[in-house]
Amino acid sequence: MKILIATDMEGITGVTTWDQVTPGHPEYARFRKQMTEDVNAAIRGAYQASADEVIVADGHWNGSNILIEQLDARGRLNTGSPSPFSMMQGIDESVDAVMFIGYHARNGSPNAILDHTWSSRTVANVWLNDILTGEYGLNAAVAGHFGVPVIMVSGDQTACAQVTELLGEVETAVVKQASGRFAAECLSPEGTRDTICVSAERAVARLAEGDVPDPFVLIL
Catalytic residues: 116
Cβ of residue 114: shortest distance to Zn ion, in angstroms? 8
Using alpha carbons only, how large is the chain's radius of gyration in Å? 15
The residue number with the shortest CB distance to Zn ion is 60
Residues 33-72 contacting Zn ion, CB under 5 A: 60
Q: How many CB atoms lie under 10 A from the CB of residue 202?
A: 17
HSE-up of residue 184 (Cα within 13 Å, Cβ side): 30
Cβ of residue 10: shortest distance to Zn ion, in angstroms? 5
Alpha helices for the chain (secondary structure H): 28-48, 135-145, 157-167, 189-208
Comparison of 28 and 47: residue with beta carbon closer to Zn ion: 28
Helix, strand, or coil here: 42? helix
Comparison of 136 and 216: residue with beta carbon closer to Zn ion: 136
Comparison of 32 and 60: residue with beta carbon closer to Zn ion: 60
Task: Using DSSP bridges, classify how beta strands 131-133 and 126-128 pair: parallel, antiparallel or unpaired.
Answer: antiparallel
Q: How many CB atoms lie under 10 A from the CB of residue 40?
A: 23
Cβ of residue 59: shortest distance to Zn ion, in angstroms? 7
Cβ of residue 7: shortest distance to Zn ion, in angstroms? 9
Total residues binding Zn ion (CB under 5 A): 3
Rounded distance between C-alpha atoms, residue 185 and residue 72, angstroms = 28
Q: Residue 116, interface with Zn ion (CB under 5 A)?
A: no
Comparison of 60 and 193: residue with beta carbon closer to Zn ion: 60
Binder among 6, 8, 117, 160 for Zn ion (CB under 5 A): 8
- For residue 127, what are the contacts with CB-CB under 8 A and spacing of at least 6? 133
**Region from 6-14, 85-93, 150-158, 192-200 binding Zn ion, contact rule CB under 5 A:** 6-14
Rounded distance between C-alpha atoms, residue 53 and residue 76, angstroms = 9
Q: Which residues contact Zn ion by CB under 5 A?
A: 8-9, 60
